[in-house]
Amino acid sequence: MSEKHRADEADRRRRTTDGVASETVNPEQPDAVEVFPEGEFDLRPGADDCYKCTTCETSCPVAAVDKSFPGPKFQGPEQWRLKRKDEIEIDPSISECSNCLRCDTSCPSGVNLAQMHNTARGEYVDNQLSTFSIKYVRNRILANYRTSARLASMFPRTANFVMNFKPVRWAMEKILHVPSERDFPEFATQTFREWWSERGGAQVTNPDKQVAYFHGCYANYNTTEVAKAMVRLYEYFGYEILVPPQKCSGTPMFANGMLDDARRHAETNVENLAAVIEDGADVIASCTSCSMALRNEYPELFDIDGIETLAKNTFDALEYLRIHEDLHGAIQDASVSGEFAEEFAYHAPCHSRNQGLDRQAIELFRDLDGVQIEDVGDSCSGISGTYGWKEEKYEKSMKIGAEMFEHMEAAEGTTGMTECPTCGMQMEHGTGYDVHHPLEVLEAAFVD
């Protein structure tokens, strides 16, 4: 008989600084725990864990291209130590941080840099950035991509034309500071959800194997082929798929310090997803930033009923199959021909690293007939969601991406692969390669 042993202390630390919503702490009430003014998070344990080993600094892609960026150790533990003593404002350099979270992934001491950056950014935007400034407006528009995308997808053809129409782009650059070099992503003529209801929802019913799909905005409005591939793949493996109502994961909002917006969306997501988990389903996502938000940022930043349950039961779509199916065995007997029989230059998104997903595509496809795959290394693509969509960050974003572009060009294949839609945009933008999602290749391997 096997016995299970769970280490007592082993790396619980990263989870010990549970999020406390600002609303739950009342500064008027004497017995409220008030470590920072206005009911801030207690990040002290994290700050104290920092032993200044500088590993995070060597991992930060922004510090490597921006001489004035003080780096993650400053943004995180040092700023928190400073703040503990005085009424010090958040250093504006926090808005130069791209939220790639490579620092968080690297820290040997488990310092919760992601949470520190997110809260600092939130505080900076709330208290120090004027809501009338053009940048604030622009950031808010970028952060609320879902709103724009919803409108655009009502008239996708017009939107595709207008968004990339020169005079419009010129005006956007001048007024909103959105760089004209970037091509706007194309909107699908039919959203994923429209497709889903048109096909009559799930084609497989299986009360024992249910997954709820968190498609996020991008797979719904833009890369619907990824969402469809995922559906067919999961049905091939006998899963019943649920598509509960949902909003934006919040990732672009965290990255722009708009925690209130993020919280509103999170509430809907937690409510709907926790309900299906209650009924026995697990949650899967095809975008690594979405899964990251649900698993990591939600419980760190908000206190919503069911948020822990959601975090514990959310998986990346590929990861979930690896854990529950003998995917590796199945791959040995499968092969790919046609459109996806390619040599891929694979880039692991930063947010996949944080979840331990950065090598799974390489591991799987290495053994798949008809496909070749090469890891283009651990550099950051530089776009970091909305970051590279800001005029003042565009150059920095391309400079960070340069290493990835070089490595892609040095790779054998001329087709890109990644899980993250914005990394994919950057890869296409920098190399001109088509970029695909691993789920599309898996579909090609298993589903006729």
Partner 1 sequence: MAIESDVLVVGGGLAGVASAVVAAREGVDVRLLAHKKSTLRQASGLIDGLGYVPPRTPLEKHADYVSQQRRDFREVRDKRGDYLGPLQTPYEGIDTLPDDHPYSILGADALRDGLALFDDLVGDTYLGSHTERNALVPTFGGTVKPTARYPRAAAAGLASDERPMLLVGFRSLTEFDAGMVADQLAAAGVPFDVRGVEVSFAESFPTDTKITRFVKAFDHDERIKGIPVRRALAEVVKPYVDDAKRVGFPAVLGDDNAASVRTDLGDRLGADIFEIPMGPPSIPGLRLEDRLFETLDAEGVRLETGVPAVGYEKDGDTVESVIVDRMGSEVPYAADTVVLATGGLVGKGLDSDREGVREPIFGCHVPYPEDRYDWFVDDAFGDQPYARFGVHPDASMRPLDADGEPEFANLFAAGSVVGGADVAREKSASGVSLATGVVAGRNAAIESRKRIERVEASS
Ligand X SMILES: Cc1cc2nc3c(=O)[nH]c(=O)nc-3n(C[C@H](O)[C@H](O)[C@H](O)COP(=O)(O)OP(=O)(O)OC[C@H]3O[C@@H](n4cnc5c(N)ncnc54)[C@H](O)[C@@H]3O)c2cc1C
Tell me the site size for partner 1, rule CB under 8 A: 64
Q: Kindly state the smallest distance separating residue 361's Cβ from ligand X, in Å.
A: 21
Q: Kindly state the smallest distance separating residue 197's Cβ from partner 1, in Å.
A: 31
Under the binding rule (CB under 6 A), the answer on residue 99 touching ligand SF4 is yes
307 vs 380, beta carbon nearer ligand SF4: 380
> C-alpha distances in angstroms, 156 versus 151, 161, 217, 422?
9, 8, 15, 19
| Spatial separation of the C-alpha atoms in residues 343 and 368, rounded to whole Å | 11
Which of 321, 364, 322 minimizes the C-alpha distance to 344? 364
State the binding string over 11-30 for ligand X (x if CB under 6 A, else -). Answer: x-------------------
Under the binding rule (CB under 6 A), the answer on residue 255 touching ligand SF4 is no
Under the binding rule (CB under 6 A), the answer on residue 233 touching ligand SF4 is no
Under the binding rule (CB under 6 A), the answer on residue 50 touching ligand SF4 is yes
Cα 251 versus chain centre, distance: 6
Return the CA Rg of the chain.
22
| Spatial separation of the C-alpha atoms in residues 243 and 156, rounded to whole Å | 22
Contacted entry of partner 1, ligand SF4, ligand X, none for residue 100, CB cut-off 5 to 8 Å set by kind: ligand SF4
Q: Kindly state the smallest distance separating residue 354's Cβ from ligand SF4, in Å.
A: 10
Q: Amino acid identity of 130?
A: S
Under the binding rule (CB under 8 A), the answer on residue 333 touching partner 1 is no
For 241, the enclosing helix (H) or strand (E) is strand 240-242
Under the binding rule (CB under 8 A), the answer on residue 353 touching partner 1 is yes
Q: Which of residues 133-162 bind ligand X (CB under 6 A)?
A: none
Q: Which of residues 368-427 bind partner 1 (CB under 8 A)?
A: 375, 402-403
> C-alpha distances in angstroms, 98 versus 248, 304, 385?
19, 26, 8
Under the binding rule (CB under 6 A), the answer on residue 272 touching ligand SF4 is no
41, HSE (Cβ side, Cα atoms, 13 Å): 28
| Spatial separation of the C-alpha atoms in residues 74 and 67, rounded to whole Å | 14
| Spatial separation of the C-alpha atoms in residues 292 and 249, rounded to whole Å | 9
Choose the binding region for ligand SF4 from 67-75, 180-188, 226-234, 300-308 (rule: CB under 6 A): 67-75
Q: Which of 117, 121, 228, 351 binds ligand SF4 (CB under 6 A)?
A: 117
Q: Which of 17, 22, 75, 223 binds ligand SF4 (CB under 6 A)?
A: 75
Q: Which of 25, 43, 90, 101 binds ligand SF4 (CB under 6 A)?
A: 101
Under the binding rule (CB under 8 A), the answer on residue 3 touching partner 1 is yes
| Spatial separation of the C-alpha atoms in residues 117 and 104, rounded to whole Å | 10
Contacted entry of partner 1, ligand X, ligand SF4, none for residue 70, CB cut-off 5 to 8 Å set by kind: partner 1
Which of 252, 218, 248, 250 minimizes the C-alpha distance to 142? 252
| Residues 128, 89 contacting (CB under 8 angstroms) | yes
Choose the binding region for ligand SF4 from 46-54, 198-206, 239-247, 426-434 (rule: CB under 6 A): 46-54
Q: Amino acid identity of 252?
A: P
Which of 7, 276, 265, 298 minimizes the C-alpha distance to 146? 265
**Residue linked to tokens 């997501």:** 269
Contacted entry of partner 1, ligand X, ligand SF4, none for residue 77, CB cut-off 5 to 8 Å set by kind: ligand SF4
Q: Which of residues 80-109 bind ligand X (CB under 6 A)?
A: 108
Q: Is 110 exposed, middle or buried (0-12, 13-18, 19+ CB in 10 A)?
A: middle
Under the binding rule (CB under 8 A), the answer on residue 8 touching partner 1 is yes
Which of 196, 279, 204 minimizes the C-alpha distance to 238? 204
Q: Kindly state the smallest distance separating residue 20's Cβ from partner 1, in Å.
A: 18
57 vs 194, beta carbon nearer ligand SF4: 57
| Spatial separation of the C-alpha atoms in residues 309 and 313, rounded to whole Å | 6
40 vs 78, beta carbon nearer partner 1: 78
370 vs 377, beta carbon nearer partner 1: 377
Interface residues with ligand SF4 (CB under 6 A) are 50-56, 59-60, 62, 72-73, 75-77, 97-103, 107, 109, 111, 113, 117
